[in-house]
Amino acid sequence: MSKKKQTCEVIVVTSGKGGVGKTTSSAAISTGLAERGYRTAVIDFDVGLRNLDLVMGCERRVVYDFVNVIQGEATLNQAMIKDKRFDNLFILPASQTRDKDALDKDSVGRVINELKESFDYIICDSPAGIEAGAVMAMYFADQAIIVTNPEVSSVRDSDRILGILASRSHRAEEGKERIKEHLLITRFSPERAAKGDMLSVQDVQEILSVPLLGVIPESKSVLRASNEGIPVINDKDSDAGQAYSDAIKRFLGEETPMRFIEKAGIFQRLFGASTE
């Protein structure tokens, strides 16, 4: 399949705080873009703690990894794994045995430039933290998806990451146009927000003042999807899967109302998407 877009865009999925849903979101977003016909590569930057292969269900097909490619021990073609469902989606797994210092800017830049020739989108799944690994994942980004849970430490860390995106990326260092930022709120519970036990979508958005790409509800379907190694966006009946599909629409410039942000009424509970 040939490229759909003239220029490739690099998108980092980042958060600062760990465990907020970056890998889940990277898997869903890359799958969603591929489903829309874009040639998509998703790179696991979490060197030493690879996980994306599991969420994408391709862990048994990993032979070479990102670090092998960086160090010239394998070609990109050898290391990239074709997705089971979409033949325009490829996964570049992280190394499990090296550490984050195995990546250097020059080599990562070289790999990304090579990928840009044959892909429309490159999704970079960032490791947690604000150190070298996270900076490397965002360094070449054109756009950033900030994954935030409606919870104080996650919001604070997201704000830290916004500062780093604005100062330490390639675009910032070269004085180019700034990285386009998107806020993705995940693990949101409308019931708890309605009770005042959880920050509302509006609260989080107001504090961070980044345009809202989507709200992914807390959902049992996410764990089930990762158990099976099928990105949750493939589960068209689930609330989280539908919320990720909506986010893809917005990312591609289509307007669609935010769903799953208000407490479900009886009608929705009977006929709406499954939260189970």
Partner 1 sequence: MSIFNFLKQRKDTTADIAKKRLQIIVSHQRGGDEEQKDFIPKLQQELINVISKYVKVDQDQVKVELERTGDCSILELNITLPDTLA
Answer yes or no whether residue 276 interacts with partner 1 by CB under 8 A. Answer: no
Answer yes or no whether residue 197 interacts with partner 1 by CB under 8 A. Answer: yes
Edge to edge, the sheet with strand 143-148 lists 81-82, 89-92, 40-44, 121-125, 9-14, 143-148, 180-188, 212-217
- Quick note: the x/- pattern for partner 1 over 115-154, rule CB under 8 A, is ------------------------------------xx--
DSSP H/E element including 143 = strand 143-148
CB of 172 to partner 1, least distance (A): 13
CB of 258 to partner 1, least distance (A): 18
Answer yes or no whether residue 76 interacts with partner 1 by CB under 8 A. Answer: no
Cβ closer to Mg ion: 47 or 193?
47
| Residue 217 Ramachandran class (φ > 0 left, ψ -120 to 50 alpha, else beta) | beta
245 binds, among Mg ion, ligand ATP, partner 1, none (CB under 5 to 8 A by kind): none
193 binds, among partner 1, ligand ATP, Mg ion, none (CB under 5 to 8 A by kind): partner 1
Instruction: Name residues whose C-beta falls within 8 Å of residue 60's C-beta, 6 or more positions apart in sequence.
Output: none
77 binds, among partner 1, ligand ATP, Mg ion, none (CB under 5 to 8 A by kind): none
* The token pair that represents 107 in the structure block: 């080599």
Radius of gyration in angstroms for the set of CA atoms belonging to the chain, rounded to a whole number: 18
The span of 85-93, 94-102, 127-135, 204-212 binding partner 1 (CB under 8 A) equals: 204-212
Cα–Cα separations (whole angstroms), residue 21 to 29, 33, 122, 256? 12, 18, 18, 22
Answer yes or no whether residue 156 interacts with partner 1 by CB under 8 A. Answer: yes
Answer yes or no whether residue 211 interacts with partner 1 by CB under 8 A. Answer: no
Helix (H, G, I), strand (E, B) or coil at 13: strand
* The token pair that represents 123 in the structure block: 């999704």
Answer yes or no whether residue 203 interacts with partner 1 by CB under 8 A. Answer: yes
CA distance 188 to 149: 7
19 binds, among partner 1, ligand ATP, Mg ion, none (CB under 5 to 8 A by kind): ligand ATP
Answer yes or no whether residue 155 interacts with partner 1 by CB under 8 A. Answer: yes
Cβ closer to partner 1: 36 or 182?
182
From the list 179, 161, 120, the residue with the least C-alpha distance to 22 is: 161
Cβ closer to ligand ATP: 2 or 227?
227
CA count, 13 A, side-chain hemisphere, 260 = 25
Q: Give contact residues for partner 1 (rule: CB under 8 A).
A: 151-152, 155-156, 159-160, 163, 193, 195-200, 203, 206-209
